[in-house]
Amino acid sequence: MFKFERQYTESVTDTRWLDATEMAAWRAFVSTSHLLERRIEEQLKAAAGLTHPQYEILVVLSESPGRQMRMTELARDVVVSKSALTYQINQLEKAGLVERATCPSDERGVLAVLTEKGAHCLARVAPGHVEVVRAFLIDRLSREELRAMTSAMRKTEEALRSSA
Amino acid sequence: MFKFERQYTESVTDTRWLDATEMAAWRAFVSTSHLLERRIEEQLKAAAGLTHPQYEILVVLSESPGRQMRMTELARDVVVSKSALTYQINQLEKAGLVERATCPSDERGVLAVLTEKGAHCLARVAPGHVEVVRAFLIDRLSREELRAMTSAMRKTEEALRSSA
DNA sequence: CGATGGTTGTTCAGATTTGAACAACGACTC
DNA sequence: GAGTCGTTGTTCAAATCTGAACAACCATCG
Q: What are phi and psi of B48, to 5 degrees?
A: -150, 5
User: For B152, which of A127, A145, A154 is closest by C-beta distance?
Assistant: A145
Provide the pLDDT for residue A14: 80
Residue B105 is predicted with a pLDDT of 87
pLDDT confidence bin for A12, thresholds 50/70/90: low
CA dist B48 → B40, B61, B118 (Å): 12, 18, 12
Question: Is B59 touching A (CB cutoff 8 A)?
Answer: no
Q: Measured from the CB, is B110 under 7 Å from any atom of strand D?
A: yes
Of residues A31 and B4, which shows the higher confidence score?
A31
Rounded CA separation B131/A162 (Å): 17
Of the candidates B153, B19, B147, the one whose C-alpha atom is nearest the C-alpha of residue A141 is B153
pLDDT for the residue numbered B77: 96
CB of B82 within 7 Å of some strand D atom = yes
Q: What pLDDT does A163 receive? A: 82
| CB A88 within 8 Å of CB A80 | yes
A93/A66 Cα distance (integer angstroms): 17
Question: What phi and psi values does residue B102 have, to the nearest 5 degrees?
Answer: -80, 145
Query: Per the CB < 8 Å rule, is A22 touching B146?
Result: yes
Q: For residue range A63-109, what is the model confidence (pLDDT) as tens digits?
A: 999 999 999 999 999 999 999 999 999 999 999 999 999 998 898 99
Name the residue closest to C12, CA to C1': A83
Dihedral pair phi/psi, residue A60, rounded to 5°: -65, -45
Q: What is the mean pLDDT of chain A?
A: 91
Categorize the per-residue pLDDT at A15 as very low, low, confident or very high, splitting at 50, 70 and 90. Answer: confident
Residue A37: list chain B partners with CB under 8 A. 33
Q: What's the residue count for chain B? A: 164
pLDDT of B137 reads 96
Please list the ranges in chain B whose pLDDT falls under 50.
1-10
pTM of the model: 0.90
Query: Which pLDDT belongs to residue A142?
Result: 94
Q: What is the percentage of chain A residues whose pLDDT exceeds 90?
A: 85
**Which pLDDT score is estimated for A6?**
42
The confidence score (pLDDT) of residue B3 equals: 47
**Residue B73 near chain A (CB below 8 Å):** no
